[in-house]
Amino acid sequence: MNIGTHGRASSEHSPAKQLRELAARFFKLESALLVVILGAMIVIFTIISPSGEFFSSGNIRSIALDTSEILVLSAGEMLIIVAAGLDLSIGSIVVFSSVVGAKTLVALSGSPAQVAQFTYPHLALGITAGVVVAVLAGLGWGTLNGLLTAKWGVPPFIVTRGTLSVAVGLAQVITGGLNVPNIPPALQNSYGSGQLFGIPWLVWTAIIVVGILWILLELTRYGLHTYAIGASPEAARRAGINVRLHTISLYALMGLLAGIVGIMDVARFDTASIFAHTQDNLTAITAAVIGGTSLFGGRGRMLGTVIGAFIPATLRNGFVLIGVEPFWQNVAIGSVLITAVYIDQMRRRRAKIT
């Protein structure tokens, strides 16, 4: 990359050169380009938006809040893609988890008559049980995805396309196709719209979950095995890794995360919305891919995925603020996706040659 500067490297120590070296090192980072793109978008939107409204703390908070659920989903989806898998069912699992979680919550918080009048004598029990049921439901669906994929050898595209339909279908059966009403407002008031140090609890949840997944992927044996399985399942198996079990655990983890998002969603909107989340799978896959995760497996960094989740969200928010017609959002997001992947591949190819 810095072949040109090599010759005079020893003779000169000017600040300009140090700066250039620093820049060169920065651009060698996997996600450097993405940081630049996101940074440029923030600067441009801040300049164009009326009185810098884009960069106000309120707006930043709202972008973070809007991205919190998809961040959690993208981080999990990315782990699966790194292992050369795919999960299309995540949005349906979110819906199913939120429905059974909300139903449990309402049923255990008080008698039907009490609940209908928004009195909840057993609120703590209801909320605890609702959270546990939602998370377990997610975990169950994820484990099923994993078992079908790893044990039966059905391609993950087919399996998760199947559970995509089944999970949301069952959720509709359970609710008769309606959103779940009478959720205790306490959940929304405390967790769903509450803040700590000016940062919404939902955003904290995303920060903590993504942080844990980040560490898991990039610092632990589990993460290393995930990369290895994505690069070559045969090599991983011959190195003594239990590829089957690991694959099942990845889908199970994804299901668990979708269950958590189900609760986040109920808390945020004070209902279990049955018709939402249909695009979550593609949004999460897009975030991972914009972030440099290879769909062939074995490659990808968490930082890239996080930025990859924020780029579409930032675009959407910025377009609204500067008054661009909302239809253009889709055009822009699609173009960014293709461009980001193209540039990334060019960079890789060039890196290999030098």
Partner 1 sequence: MNPTSDKVLFSARGIVKNYGHVQALAGADFELREHEIHALVGDNGAGKSTLIKVFSGDIQPDEGVVEMNGRQVQFSSPRDAQVAGIETVYQDLALASTLDTAMNIHLGRELLVRGPLAKLGFINRRAMQRNAAVQLKDLGIELPSVAVPVADLSGGQRQAVAVARASAWGRQILIMDEPVAALAPQQTEFVLSLMKRARDERGLAVIFISHNLPHVFLASDRVTVLRHGQTVLTKPTAETDVEELLRAMTGIMNTEGRASA
Residues of this chain that interact with partner 1 (CB under 8 A) are: 219-222, 224-225, 227-228, 230-232, 234-241, 294, 297-299, 352
Q: In angstroms, how far is the first alpha carbon of the chain from the final one?
A: 6
Shortest CB 235 distance to partner 1, Å: 4
CA 186 to CA 29: how far, in whole Å?
45
Close Cβ partners of 50 (under 8 Å, ≥ 6 residues apart):
321
Nearer to partner 1, 184 or 300 (CB): 300
Which among 308, 206, 303 has a CA at the least distance from the CA of 264?
Answer: 206
Q: How is residue 316 written in tokens?
A: 């959407």
- Alpha-carbon distance 198 to 210, whole Å? 19
Q: How far apart are CA 81 and CA 232, in angstroms?
A: 13
Which of 161/348 has CB closer to partner 1? 348
Nearest approach, Cβ of residue 122 and partner 1 (Å)? 37
Q: Is 80 helix (H, G, I), strand (E, B) or coil?
A: helix
Least separation in angstroms between CB 234 and partner 1: 6
The smaller minimum CB distance to partner 1, of residues 204 and 222, is found at: 222
Residue number, 58 or 240, with CB nearest to partner 1: 240
CA distance 92 to 78: 18
**Phi-psi region at 209: left, alpha or beta (left = phi > 0; alpha = psi -120 to 50):** alpha
Distance of closest approach, residue 311 Cβ to partner 1, in angstroms: 24
Nearer to partner 1, 208 or 331 (CB): 208
CB 297, min distance to partner 1, A: 8
